[in-house]
């Protein structure tokens, strides 16, 4: 590792850690769940970066940017894929703008197309295929996305969903559709709040 790479990596790690700690402290003070940033756990974020690094996707979709903690890590895992199309969606413009400033601060903003849009509206109009989709938004709407997600995934595509252990009751029905679909091989990973991973094996 060159000295430049070393300093870049050290800066990135310390930036992410301080972002996580600051937003976590804010979240603890919030009584309304929807006011919280609700970042993925650091372990989960690093797992996402690893999957991005291993899979080397051409097209990535994140649903639920918040202020960009998972987005930063996904972008970090994609930093050697300069032509990647990485879209991250959030319905909340203020959060998306904050995410943009964090991405700029670590020099990864050119890798991410931040969109402010409702996930259902986006998915219903989407005709693109994604190699990697990370879903981390409002769980009660996930079942509405199922058919759109099937259409947006192809052989070798990876779908990852957060909070599947911490909030299993809210996502079990949605996940069962993938588990019972022979086109996918699925795993529940005991990382952070629990990650579900489905890899598409068949068209
Ligand atoms: C759990 S947070 C995402 C956390 C983020 N992945 C991270 O680790 O930093 C969920 C986000 O989804 C967004 N959201 C909720 N409903 C949405 C919808 N229908 N379409 C798009 N984004 C939505 C919220 O505004 C919120 O920022």
- Specify the CATH number for the domain of residue 132: 3.40.50.150
pLDDT surpasses 90 at 3: no
Q: Would you put residue 89 in left (φ > 0), alpha (ψ -120 to 50) or beta? A: beta
> What is the best residue among 91, 115, 139, 192 to mutate for testing ligand 1's pocket, by most ligand atoms within 8 Å of CB?
91
Strand pairing category for 153-161 and 130-135: parallel
Distance from residue 3's CA to the centre of ligand 1 (Å): 36
> Which residue range is the domain that position 71 belongs to?
3-200
Q: What is the largest CA-CA distance in the chain?
A: 49
Ligand 1 pocket, residues with Cβ under 6 angstroms: 38-40, 64, 66, 69-70, 89-92, 95, 118-120, 136-138, 141
pLDDT digits (tens, 9 = 90+) for 86-144: 999 999 999 999 999 999 999 999 999 999 999 999 999 999 999 999 999 999 999 99
Whether this prediction's pTM lies above 0.95 is answered by yes
| Over residues 50-58, mean pLDDT | 97
pLDDT surpasses 80 at 1: no
Distance from residue 185's CA to the centre of ligand 1 (Å): 26
How far apart CA 29 and CA 48 sit, in angstroms, is: 27
pLDDT digits (tens, 9 = 90+) for 137-169: 999 999 999 999 999 999 999 999 999 999 999
Structural domains counted in the chain = 1
């Amino acid at each position: 590792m060159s000295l430049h790479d070393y300093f870049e990596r050290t800066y990135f790690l310390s930036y992410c850690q301080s972002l996580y700690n600051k937003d976590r402290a804010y979240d603890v003070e919030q009584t309304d769940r929807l006011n919280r940033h609700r970042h993925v756990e650091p372990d989960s974020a690093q797992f996402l970066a690893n999957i991005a690094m291993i899979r080397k996707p051409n097209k990535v979709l994140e649903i639920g940017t918040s202020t960009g903690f998972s987005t930063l890590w996904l972008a970090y895992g994609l930093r050697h894929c300069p032509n990647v199309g990485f879209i991250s969606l959030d319905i909340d413009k203020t959060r998306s703008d904050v995410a943009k400033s964090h991405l700029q601060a670590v020099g990864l903003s050119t890798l991410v197309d931040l969109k402010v849009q409702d996930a259902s509206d986006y998915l219903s109009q989407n005709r693109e295929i994604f190699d990697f989709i990370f879903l981390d938004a409002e769980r009660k709407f996930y079942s509405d996305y199922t058919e759109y997600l099937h259409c947006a995934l192809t052989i070798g595509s990876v779908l990852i969903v957060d909070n599947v252990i911490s909030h299993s009751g809210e996502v079990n029905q949605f996940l069962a559709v993938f588990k019972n679909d022979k086109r996918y091989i699925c795993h529940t990973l005991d990382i952070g709040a629990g990650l579900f991973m489905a890899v598409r094996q068949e068209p």
